Structure 1
Amino acid sequence: MKKINLKPILTICLAVLLSSCGNKQENQQAPQRPPATFPVAQIKPKTITGYQEYPTNIEGIINSNVRAKVSGYIQKVFVDEGQKVKKGQTLFKLETQSLSQDADAAKARINVAQVEVNKLIPLVEKNIISPVQLETAKANLVQAKANYSSIVANIDYATVKSPVDGYVGSINFRQGSLISPNDATPLTTVSDIKQVYAFFSMNEANYLDFLQSAKGASLKEKIANFPEVSLILANGNTYAEKGKIQTSSGQINQNTGTVSFRAVFNNPNQLLTNGNSGKIKVPTIYKDAIVIPQEATYEEQGHVMVFKIGENNMVTTSLIKIKASIDNLYVVESGVKEGDKIVTTGVGKLKSDMPITPQEVPFDSIIKPIEKLFRN
C-alpha cells in the first residue's frame, strides 16, 4: 500500500487558516467612516419683495379727437404726425369759397333789411303806417344779421385748431379730402403725454392678494397706500420713472375674470406715447416671512419637500406649503418655521432618517438672489 505524504496538505490548510484570521482581525480593527457631510442652515425670518407682471397699454392723459364742425374739402394741412402743437394752433384749413359767397349774400340781405327799416321809421313817426310794419321790418333785420353771423362762424370753423397742448397723432385725412362733422373717424388726435396712463388687469386671485397686502380700510385707502409700480418697456428695459396706481374698477369682469387698474407715470422726455405696450411690475412685500432656497427642496408626487435636521443629526422629510416663488427662493406658508435647520444643497443624495455630518453655513448666504447670466 502506497503511503500518502500529508505534510504539503497540512501546510496549505494552515496558511489558509492564518490568512483568514488575519483578515478578520484587520476588519475588526478598521474604523467606521463618519456620515457624509452636508451644508445646513438655520432658518431666520426675512422681509422680501416679490413682483407680479401684467401686460399693459399706454395712453396720454389727454387724447382729444380733432373733428371738423362744418363740411368741406381740406384745402391745406399745416402739421405733421408726431409734431408738438399748442392749444389754438391751426391744424387744417377747409375750402371756404362757397361759404364766402353765402356770406356776401347774407350781408346783402342785411343791407336790404336795414334800408327797409330806415324807410319805415319816418312813416311811423308821421302815423302814415302802423308801427307793426316797422317792428316786422326790424325783426327781418335781426334775422338777416343772425344768418350772416352763422355763416361767418362757419367760415371760422373752417380753420380747424388744436383743442389742447400736445402731440399730433395719425392724420387720417389729407389735402383734397371731403370731410363732415358726421365722420366716424376724426381728422387726427392731439395727445398730452407729459404724463401717461398705463392700463392693466389682475385676475381674481391676484386681486385678493392685493387687497390683503395693502394697508387701508377701503379700496381707495389701499390704492393710496400701495407702493409705487415699475414699467418694463417693450425692449425689456425698465422705465426710469416709477408709477402710482390711481384707480381700480373694483369689479370682476364676468367675461374675463379680471379687475382693471390704471397707473400714472410722469413722462418728462416724451419717451412714452399712445399705443406703447409693456409690462407693469406690481410689488408684493412679505414682511418677516419664512423663505428658503429652491435648491434646498425636492418634489415628490407633486408635493414640495425639504430635509430638516433632527436628533442625532438624522434628517427627516417635511412637506412645505408655498405662498410665493421669488427668483430662486420660496416664501413658505407652512412646513418649516424659524429656528429649524434644513439641508441647503445636495438633497437628491438624502433619504429620510439618514444620519449626516452637518456643516453650518450662514442663512443669509443661501438666500442671495442668483444673478442672471443672460437676458431674455
Structure 2
Amino acid sequence: MKHNKIVTLLALSAFLVILSCGKKQEAPAAAQAPASPFPVTEVQTKTVTGFKAYPTNLEGIVNSDVRAKVSGYIQKVMVDEGQKVRKGQVLFKLETQSLNQDAGAAKARVNVAQVEVDKLIPLVQKNIISGVQLETAKANLAQAKANYSSVSASIGYGTIRSQVDGYVGAINYREGALVSPADPTPLTTVSDISKVYAFFSLTESQYLDFLQNAEGKNLKEKLANYADINLVLANGSTYSEKGKIETSTGQVNKNTGTVSLRAVFDNPNQLLTNGNSGTIQIPSVYENAIVIPQQSTYEQQGNVMVFKVGEDNKVVTSIVKIKATIDNLYVVESGVDLKDKIIVSGVGKLKAGMAIAPQETSFEEAIKPVAVLFKN
C-alpha cells in the first residue's frame, strides 16, 4: 500500500515538471528594442573657397629717408608727424650762419682771382709777360669759383626738402639738434601710402602649391592670373580693399627655407601706413568638391572616420582622406562617394553594425554650421 503511494507521488511530480516546462515554452519572446533615430544625408558636391593665412608687414610704395647733406644745428622743423607734403616742400632748416661767412670769404677770393686775370690779360697781349702766367691766374680763378659754388651749395643744403609726395613719419630730431650726413638715423621718412606693399613668405611646399593652383605658362602669367587676396588687420577686421600679388623672388632662401612675395593694396583713405602688421589670406577654390560636415566624423588612431548607412540600415565605418578644412566642412579626397548616405550627427553613440532608424535631412541643412550658444 505504502509502495503504491510513493509511485503515485513520483508520477504526479513528473507531470507537474512537464507541465511547468510546457508553460515556459509557451511564454512569448521579449519584445526587441526599436532602432534609434539618427539624421542622415546623401553626399553631394559643393563649390567652396578656403583661405590660407600668412603674416605680413606693410610699407608704403615709396619710403624716402630724409637726411642732412651738411652738418649743422636744426634751426626750424617746418612740418609735423603725419602731415601730407609735396615734393620740394621744405621740411627742416639748418643754421647756416657759419656757412654764410665761408661763402663771403670764398666770394672775396673769386674777386681777387678775377682782378689778377684782368690785370694780366693786357700784359700778355703786349707780350710783356708770357701766357703761362695768365693761364695760371685763370686756373686760380676757376678754383676760387668752384670753392664758392661748393659753399653756396652747402648753404642750399641747409634747407632740407622732401624728395617725394607723401606723409611725414616720425621726426627723430628737433630744433637745436646737431645733425650730419653720417647720422645712422634719418631726420624723418616721407612715405607715399596711396598704395601699400604687403610682404610675406611661403615655405617651399606652400610655394609649389601656390604655383600649381595658378593658371599661366610662367611665373609672370601665374601672378597676373591669380585671384585677389584679402588682408586681415591687426584688430581682426578684414580690410575693405582687395589686394593683388605682384612679385615673387622665385628663389628659396637657404637660411629660412622660404620664398618671399609682395602684394599691393590700394589705400585711398590712408588707413594703412608703414609698419602696420596683418595677415594675408590667399584663396583656394574647390569646385564641385565632395564635402561633409566635421560633426559627422570622428577620429580613430589618427584617421578621420565617418559612418555610412549600409544594408538593412546598419551603419558601417569608412576612413576618409581630407584635402582641406574650410570652416565647419571637410573637403574629401577619398573615402566617401556621391550618393553615399552618412550619419550627420550623434556619431559618438554609434558602433559598426548597429541598426538605426534613418531620418532624412537635406544636404544644405546638414552642412550648416552648428550655432554656438555659449562663448568663453
Query: What residue number does 1:288 align with?
Result: 288
Q: Are 1:323 and 2:337 counterparts?
A: no
| In 2, Cα distance between equivalents of 1:101 and 1:375 | 74
Query: What residue number does 2:55 align with?
Result: 55
Report SS of the residue matched to 1:27.
coil
Per-residue CA shift, 1:290-339, capped at 9, x if unaligned?
11001111111111101112222221111111111111111111111222
Number of residues of Structure 1 aligned to a counterpart in Structure 2: 370
The TM-score normalised by the length of structure 2 is 0.90
Query: What residue number does 2:9 align with?
Result: none
Give the C-alpha shift of residue 202 in structure 1: 1.9
Query: What residue number does 1:6 align with?
Result: none
The answer as to whether partners of 1:61 and 1:197 remain within 8 angstroms in 2 is: yes
Query: What residue number does 2:28 align with?
Result: 27
Classify 1:145/1:216 alpha carbon distance in 2 versus 1 (closer, same or farther; 3 Å).
Answer: same
Per-residue CA shift, 1:181-211, capped at 9, x if unaligned?
1221111111110000111122233223212
Report SS of the residue matched to 2:250.
coil
| Identity across the alignment (%) | 68
Query: What residue number does 2:94 align with?
Result: 94
Aligned ranges 1:1-376 → 2 under 5 Å: 21=23, 27-28=28-29, 32-370=32-370
The answer as to whether partners of 1:293 and 1:330 remain within 8 angstroms in 2 is: yes
| In 2, Cα distance between equivalents of 1:118 and 1:224 | 68
Classify 1:373/1:257 alpha carbon distance in 2 versus 1 (closer, same or farther; 3 Å).
Answer: farther
Counterpart of 1:176, as a letter, is G
| In 2, Cα distance between equivalents of 1:337 and 1:95 | 80
Give the C-alpha shift of residue 139 in structure 1: 2.2
| In 2, Cα distance between equivalents of 1:370 and 1:191 | 46
Counterpart of 2:158, as a letter, is A
Per-residue CA shift, 1:203-262, capped at 9, x if unaligned?
233223212222222222222111111111111111111111111222222332322221
- Single out whichever of 241-250 and 121-130 deviates more from structure 2: 121-130
Report SS of the residue matched to 1:139.
helix
Aligned alpha-carbon RMSD (Å): 2.8
Classify 1:129/1:195 alpha carbon distance in 2 versus 1 (closer, same or farther; 3 Å).
Answer: same
| In 1, Cα distance between equivalents of 2:184 and 2:214 | 43
The answer as to whether partners of 1:327 and 1:370 remain within 8 angstroms in 2 is: no
| In 2, Cα distance between equivalents of 1:149 and 1:228 | 54
| In 2, Cα distance between equivalents of 1:27 and 1:246 | 80
Give the C-alpha shift of residue 131 in structure 1: 2.3
Report SS of the residue matched to 1:354.
coil
In structure 2, runs of 5+ residues without a counterpart are 6-11
Give the C-alpha shift of residue 20 in structure 1: 8.8
Report SS of the residue matched to 2:28.
helix
